[in-house]
Amino acid sequence: MRKIRVLVVEDSPVMRRAIMMTLAKDAAVEVVGAAKHGQEALALLPELKPDLITLDIEMPVMDGLATLRELRKLHPNLPVIMFSSLTQRGAVATVLALTIGATDCVAKPANMSNLSESWQCLEEELLPRVKFYGENVMLRSERPPRPAAIEAPSATVTSLRRRPVHALCIGVSTGGPNALVQIFSKIPDPLPVPVLIVQHMPAMFTRMLAERLTSVAQMEFHEAADGMEALPGHGYLAPGGKHMTVAQADGVTRLFLNEQPPENSCRPAVDVLFRSAASTFGPNLLVAVLTGMGRDGTRGCEAVRARGGRVLVQDEATSVVWGMPGQVWEAGFADRMLPLDQMADEFIRYSQIGR
């Protein structure tokens, strides 16, 4: 297999050298070029044809966010790993970067004067991501694309009945912030059901993501709190570091948080929410598993199908990583697979059944 071609975009000479030296240690990676700012990087792209880009957020001439916006117009699927600082401002910029198309984000080493500590951080945080996303790109290019928007061969009769939907649950990970923005920015009115979301993100970032979604959607999103009522026309994100469950009593739907052990190495975990929602809503539940690595959500979808609920998964071509949706599809727990740009219409269609 050929080497993963990486373009490094970083204005700091010290940081740029550290990144390049870290990547050069791995025989599967080749640094094909470096740029000091976004304008220079965009000019190099046609010549270098990288498989992946590392991109600093704060740079002169053209910063990382402006570069990312321009990059996505021409290269919607090129993996981009952003570097951001461990500050409140850096966190806000990170969430914005993820919602406009960054594949992943890595925190800059806090102390560049300690080179051994900085390189260890880069080796542990950056290098595995470069290899994973780079290899994923090359594997996709070597196999024919799967068909999109198809019914699952194992779809049951119950999944096709026109039962009203009382709640929508979404499980998503890598590439999720951008996918959520794309979906909910296209929905013209608040959905008539509560929308419950598990997005694999650290604490603090989920609150910022809720704010970002509210700014682009026609409905309000919240970071969930323990005991919070889940209302139709509102979206709720499980906070980073806490599982989210849902229950109904006296006609009121409420969300509950806990810090029980991680599942699938995740907390919050999609499986936890889906199992709880399946028990609460039964056949009146719609769930969707979007882009993400791993298999979180597979067992939860099994529980949803067992209770007569419906399961949608994002297709491989539009997923940043077809891990979570792919596992659900291959396990036979999905009713339908479709591209990201059809999810909004599908959510609207299902939520209007019986109304």
Of 37, 200, 234, 243, the active-site residue reads 200
Query: Is 104 tagged catalytic?
Result: no
Question: 116 phi and psi, to 5 degrees?
Answer: -65, -40
Query: Is 173 tagged catalytic?
Result: yes
Find the DSSP H helices in the chain: 13-24, 38-48, 64-74, 88-99, 115-125, 127-141, 157-160, 176-184, 205-216, 270-281, 298-306, 324-331, 343-351
Q: Is 204 exposed, middle or buried (CB count within 10 Å of its CB: 0-12, 13-18, 19+)?
A: middle
Which whole-number Å values give the CA distances from 34 to 27, 49, 77, 192, 258, in the listed order? Answer: 18, 13, 20, 49, 45
Of 84, 118, 159, 173, the active-site residue reads 173
Task: Report the distance separating Cα 32 and Cα 120, nearest Å.
Answer: 22
DSSP per-residue letters across 130-184: HHHHHHHHHHHHTSPPPP-SEE-TT--HHHHS-PPP-EEEEEE-TTHHHHHHHHH
Of 51, 104, 296, 335, the active-site residue reads 296
Query: Is 296 tagged catalytic?
Result: yes
- Residues with catalytic roles: 173, 200, 296
